[in-house]
Amino acid sequence: MKKVLIANRGEIALRIIRAAKELGIKTVVAHSTADEKSLPVLLADEAICIGPPPSGQSYLNIPNLLSAAIVTGADAIHPGYGFLAENATFAEMCRDHGITFIGPTPENMRALGDKATARKVAREAGVPTVPGTDELASVEEARRAAHEIGYPVILKASAGGGGRGMRLVHTEEELERAVQQAQEEARAAFGNPAVYLEKYIEEPKHIEIQVLGDGENVIHLWERDCSIQRRHQKLLEEAPSTLPWETRKAIAEAAARLARHVGYVSAGTLEFLVDKEGNFYFIEMNTRIQVEHPVTEMITGVDLVQAQFRIAMGERLWIQQEEVEVRGHAIEVRINAEDPEKGFRPSIGKVETLLFPGGPGIRVDSHLYAGYQIPPHYDSLIAKIIAWAPTREEAIRRMERALSETVIEGPGLKTTIPFHQKVLQNAFFRRGAVYTNFVARRMEM
């Protein structure tokens, strides 16, 4: 591999440039016209404009991206996260054009891409999933299933996500009406009234396992706790979790088993819900690098993006499971250009004054520079700050220290820093009592 085309933007484009540079691979950043003056464009060896600001015409424009790789002589494409990262067709087209897609195989993606298939694969691999049904044919079927699973149960839209078409049902009396409502909502939202039913996990932790595979060997790099979410958006992640050792080990091994079952290639993440008793349920797999990958890098010392490159170049896994050593604790906060006091409303603008934290145990991943105009077309993540320390308590204090010295200012620009400061001070958070509805319940946001 001589030259990689980066089919992404923002901090992850920069992250990929850094990995490639350290491996001696040349970089080409494919960018929209809105990102012409972005830091990745500046720091890459080359840059090529692939379309106008709307991502449908640029970062999702497969012909322009492939053409850009071809005309710049790139022999590989790194998709980052989001955009085309989990698009099996794109991965396949790369392969057809003799371009290495840095990520899993199209077959991996298809085996794990949609939730229903992934659940089936999990069951084959002996990994527990949330007990539930397929699409419900009738209220009667729902009643039988709910009885078997045990209340409370939750109804979900087959086509959907993001909370729409969802209904929590506590008793059999509520069920019929709830099914009807969920179907109506699902039809309105997704044009498809199909719903299914699942066991409702109360106050679960969102735990995800990082894996690395070379197609034969798969290792896990332990878990991340991503329970601090708001409307299914992760805001703060940490590793390791505060779960007991046995639970952590059981989940991690289950995840590696599942990934091994599909002959997984590259970096991937398996997401689980964990209830108060330590029961865990596989939900889905993300077949790509994740925003929160740095916390795993901080505690294991393994460079996950470099690992993606090396695996894509055909290298066999160079670390065995026993060699993965966890040291200390790491926390990442996602700094978004959003106003947490106004419902996390996006707050774009120009960054005029910028000061990032430094010193021991602090890592910053950000594409900001003083004078940068945040474009309104893309997501609002502008910086990730990661703090490492020997213990969780010290990592929290270090993160507080780091945020206290961070300055990201510009006219009208708001960030989620004050929100994170509140989370870090929260007594429940400090003792590790986090779960996916923490922000709603403990932060009242």
Q: Which residues bind its own copies (CB under 8 A)?
A: 14-15, 18, 21-24, 43, 294, 297, 301-303, 305, 325, 327-328, 353-356, 358-366, 369-370, 389-390, 394, 397-398, 400-401, 404-405
Place of tokens 């029961």: 279
Q: Which CB sits closer to its own copies, 19 or 153?
A: 19
**Binds another protein by CB under 8 A, chosen from 70, 149, 443, 445:** 70
Q: How many CA atoms lie within 13 A of 366 on its CB side?
A: 28
Q: Which of 387, 382, 386 is nearest to 39 (CA)?
A: 382
Partner whose binding site includes residue 47, from another protein, its own copies, none (CB under 5 to 8 Å by kind): another protein
Q: Which CB sits closer to its own copies, 334 or 363?
A: 363
CB 326, min distance to its own copies, A = 11
Strand order through the sheet with 76-78 = 46-51, 26-32, 3-6, 76-78, 100-101
**Interaction between residue 374 and another protein (CB under 8 A):** no
The terminus-to-terminus CA distance of the chain in angstroms comes to 47
**Interaction between residue 36 and another protein (CB under 8 A):** yes
Residue 266 CB burial class (10 angstroms; 0-12, 13-18, ≥19): buried
**Binds another protein by CB under 8 A, chosen from 417, 423, 424, 439:** 417
As a whole number of angstroms, the distance between CA 78 and CA 68 comes to: 13
> Per-residue x/- mask for another protein, residues 325 to 354, rule CB under 8 A?
---------------------------xxx
DSSP states of 173-210 as a string? HHHHHHHHHHHHHHHHHHS---EEEEEPPSS-EEEEEE
As a whole number of angstroms, the distance between CA 103 and CA 105 comes to: 7
**Interaction between residue 314 and another protein (CB under 8 A):** no
Contact by Cβ (8 Å): 406, 384? no
Strand partners, 384: 334, 365
Partner whose binding site includes residue 406, from another protein, its own copies, none (CB under 5 to 8 Å by kind): another protein
Q: Can 288 be counted among the known catalytic residues?
A: yes
CB 42, min distance to another protein, A = 6
Partner whose binding site includes residue 46, from its own copies, another protein, none (CB under 5 to 8 Å by kind): another protein
As a whole number of angstroms, the distance between CA 163 and CA 167 comes to: 9
**Interaction between residue 97 and another protein (CB under 8 A):** yes
CB 312, min distance to its own copies, A = 18
Contact by Cβ (8 Å): 267, 308? yes
Among 248, 288, 363, 392, the active-site one is 288
Greatest Cα pair distance, the chain, in angstroms, is: 64
**Interaction between residue 358 and another protein (CB under 8 A):** no
Partner whose binding site includes residue 22, from another protein, its own copies, none (CB under 5 to 8 Å by kind): its own copies
**Binds another protein by CB under 8 A, chosen from 6, 47, 136, 333:** 47
Judged by CB under 8 A, the number of residues near another protein is 51
Partner whose binding site includes residue 297, from another protein, its own copies, none (CB under 5 to 8 Å by kind): its own copies
**What's CA 354's distance to the chain center, in Å?**
26
Contact by Cβ (8 Å): 3, 76? yes
**Interaction between residue 375 and another protein (CB under 8 A):** yes
Q: Rule CB under 8 A: which residues touch another protein?
A: 26, 28, 33-34, 36-37, 41-54, 57-58, 63-68, 70-73, 97, 352-355, 369-371, 375, 377, 403-407, 409, 417-418, 421
Which positions are catalytic?
288
